[in-house]
Chains A and B, each alone.
Chain A
Amino acid sequence: MSVESRSPLRGLRRANKEPEHLDYSEPDFSSWAARLADYTPVGQAAPAVSAAATSATTATATVVAATPAAVAVDDRPSLEEVLEKLLSFDGALCVAVVDSETGMILGKAGSGIEIDLAAAGASVILRARLASTRALGNDEKIDDVLISLTTQVQIIHPLPSNPSIFTYLIGDKAKASLAMARYKATEADLQIQL
């Protein structure tokens, strides 16, 4: 505690309450002053703490005041966090964000599958369908492709902001709910930032 915060307290102490058994025989009160310096009355301890708390609050307020400028950037979690969150559906095996133009994986989470190969396969599927939709002459965009295999369910979900990039979810067919996985994929759209 600094000198400037101690000096007003010292004045208060003299006014309210004095230490017991003071030795008035000492003419210069030097030992009294020394004892006063070490003495912290119970009632006086609180203001010091609250002062610290106030300064902490002020610090928080400064942080809060500084946050709004950063919200636009920090609001959305990183790709890894989104993928981990995506992986939280029941029976999830693997999730990935894939660029369908190249078949390469931008980010992945989970295990148990050769995700690189599977993603390349899924890219071919999406590209085939996109190409044929264009051939049909209509500009309908693909919301998602749900694939049920014997032991797996897969979801290919192109991002609305960039249809050539898709989220790819693979789940265990026995455990996973296709509808829930599909919902999770839709939900993640808003959070994925590339």
Chain B
Amino acid sequence: MSNVTESLERLVELAGARSAALVDSNSGMVLGHAGSDAGLDIAAAANTEVVRAQLKSIGTLGSTDVIDDIIITLSTQFDIVRPLTANPSIFLYLAMDKNKSNMALARYKVSECEAQLEL
């Protein structure tokens, strides 16, 4: 039973949340999204590049590490990218308003959401 939409809806209820999405980094396609952000598709594609680059870097280093999460801080916003434990090529993406939100709480909520997510 998929709960993608509900999970993403819960994420965007966070104070300062702009949008949330579930993205497939193999294709850069958005599997599900919530919140209103005009550039969500492009942002998803952008973060896809980041995740791919990081996975490639880990591969090059010959490390057995997996990505827990990646937080990108911009001037007015921060993005949390969290690959699913079950399927690291799919990641959760949450965009937050930097001035209205709590990064630590958002990070925790994303990890909680990831744990509960069923595709």
User: What separation, in Å, do the CA atoms of A151 and B64 have in the docked complex?
Assistant: 9
With beta carbons under 8 angstroms apart, the residue of B54, B68, B77 that contacts A125 is B54
Q: Is B68 in contact with A114, judged by CB distance below 8 angstroms?
A: no
Are B46 and A149 within 8 A (Cβ)? no
For A124, give the chain B residue with the smallest CB separation: B53
Structural contact, A135 and B46, CB atoms closer than 8 A: yes
Q: Tell me how far the C-beta of A166 lies from the nearest C-beta in chain B, rounded to whole angstroms.
A: 13
A113-132 vs B, Cβ < 8 Å mask (1 yes, 0 no):
01001101110110011011
Q: Which of B53, B56, B74 is close to A142, meaning CB atoms less than 8 Å apart?
A: B74
* B73 CB contact (under 8 Å) in A121, A131, A145: A145
Q: A117-B60, A132-B45 are in contact. Are A147 and B54 (CB under 8 A)?
A: yes
| A102 lies within 8 A of chain B by Cβ | no
Asked if A193 CB lies within 8 Å of chain B CBs, one says: no
Near A by CB (< 8 A), chain B positions 24-75 give 39, 42-43, 45-47, 49-50, 52-54, 56-58, 60-61, 63-75
What CA separation (Å) do A135 and B49 show in the bound complex? Answer: 12
- Once the chains are docked, how many angstroms separate the CA of A124 from the CA of B53? 6
Q: Considering the chains assembled together, what is the distance between the CA atoms of A175 and B47 in angstroms?
A: 28
Q: A65: shortest Cβ distance to chain B, in Å?
A: 43
A72: CB under 8 A from chain B?
Answer: no
Q: In the complex the two chains form, is B67's CB within 8 Å of A135's CB?
A: no
* B87 beta carbon closer than 8 Å to chain A: no
Alpha-carbon separation in the docked complex, A175 to B54 (Å): 22
Residue pair A145, B65 in contact (C-beta under 8 Å): no
- List the B side residues contacting A125 at CB < 8 Å: 50, 53-54, 57
Tell me if B54 and A148 are in contact (CB < 8 A): no
- A128-B46, A149-B66, A150-B64 as given contacts; A133 in contact with B57, CB under 8 Å: no
B61 and A117: CB pair below 8 A? Answer: yes
Pairwise interchain contact B43-A149, C-beta atoms closer than 8 A: no
| 15 pairs, CB–CB < 8 Å, chain A vs chain B | A120-B60, A125-B53, A129-B72, A131-B46, A131-B49, A132-B45, A132-B46, A133-B74, A136-B42, A136-B43, A145-B70, A146-B69, A146-B73, A150-B66, A150-B68
Please give me the 9 A-B residue pairs with the lowest Cβ-Cβ distance, nearest first. Answer: A121-B57, A132-B46, A128-B49, A148-B68, A143-B73, A149-B65, A146-B71, A124-B53, A150-B65
Binding site for B on A (CB under 8 A): 114, 117-118, 120-122, 124-125, 128-129, 131-133, 135-138, 140-152
Q: A121-B56, A133-B46 are in contact. List 13 more A-B contacts (CB 8 A).
A: A118-B57, A121-B57, A124-B53, A125-B57, A128-B50, A129-B49, A132-B50, A143-B75, A147-B67, A147-B70, A149-B67, A150-B64, A150-B65
